[in-house]
């Protein structure tokens, strides 16, 4: 369960993440996010009710995924890849802005927490498991037939695999934690100049 300040920071990071997906899709020619009211920084447009409740109750949740229509995109495979990358890239940008603030204002815990929350969101979302952004990046980066077959497999087995990798199996530590924490720590040390 998150404390109220951490919850606000996560909602802010999730809002920017989902807005970045929506804005990129809109700029690449898909009006779907705009028509669904997702082209906004209002958190209410991006919060999934169950995902938000889960954040409050169990300390893990999700935002409402941005829907796109690939038929509106000029180059669907490339554009879907760019749309998928936009969310994690926005979190990396927020982490970088946090690092700049730390340089000017000092190492306030709130800013450091926001930096690491954004790095966590970016790195976690780049895991190549459905429904995370990394799966869409991988599928669209591969040759078409290979990507199509992988997409079918990920949509069938990706979510159960993701859940399995998040369970604390090895001495109370999940596989996901063992993968992403070293990456988050490395990126954080670079941004903080350590």
User: What would the pLDDT profile of 134-184 be if each residue is shown by its tens digit?
Assistant: 999 999 999 989 988 988 988 888 888 888 888 887 777 888 989 999 999
The count of residues in the chain is 194
pLDDT score, position 162: 84
Looking up tokens 């990507």 gives 147
Share of the chain above pLDDT 70, in %: 99
Q: Within a 13 Å sphere around the CA of 189, how many CA atoms are in the beta-carbon half? A: 6
pLDDT in tens, 103-142: 998 878 999 999 999 999 999 999 998 889 999 999 999 9
Rg (CA), the chain: 17
DSSP code, position 127: S
Q: Is 80 a catalytic residue?
A: no
* Residue of 112, 102, 151 lying closest to 131 (CA atoms): 151
H-helix or E-strand spanning residue 31 = none
Looking up tokens 């996010």 gives 33
* Mean pLDDT score, 55-81: 89
pLDDT in tens, 63-74: 899 999 999 999
Q: Which of the residues 2, 9, 14, 18 is marked catalytic?
A: 18
Residue 41 backbone phi and psi in degrees, to 5 = -95, 15
Say how many domains are in the chain. Answer: 1
The residue range of the domain holding 129 is: 4-191
Residue 106 backbone phi and psi in degrees, to 5 = 100, 170
Distance CA 180, CA 124 (A): 7
């Amino acid at each position: 369960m998150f404390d109220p300040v951490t919850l606000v920071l996560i909602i802010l990071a999730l809002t920017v993440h989902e807005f970045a997906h929506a804005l990129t899709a809109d700029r690449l020619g898909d009006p779907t996010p705009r028509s669904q009211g997702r082209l906004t920084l209002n958190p209410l447009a991006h919060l999934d009710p169950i995902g938000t409740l889960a954040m409050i109750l169990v300390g893990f949740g999700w935002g409402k995924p941005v829907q796109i229509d690939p038929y509106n995109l000029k180059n669907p495979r490339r554009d879907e890849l760019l749309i998928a990358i936009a969310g994690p890239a926005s979190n990396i940008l927020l982490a970088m802005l946090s690092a700049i603030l730390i340089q000017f204002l000092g190492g306030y815990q709130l800013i450091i927490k926001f930096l690491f929350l954004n790095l966590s969101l970016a790195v976690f979302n780049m895991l190549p498991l459905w429904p995370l952004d990394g799966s869409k990046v991988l599928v669209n980066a591969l040759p078409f037939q290979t990507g199509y077959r992988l997409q079918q497999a990920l949509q069938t087995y990706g979510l159960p695999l993701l859940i399995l990798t998040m369970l604390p199996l090895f001495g109370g530590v999940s596989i996901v934690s063992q993968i992403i924490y070293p990456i988050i720590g490395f990126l954080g040390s670079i941004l903080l100049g350590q």
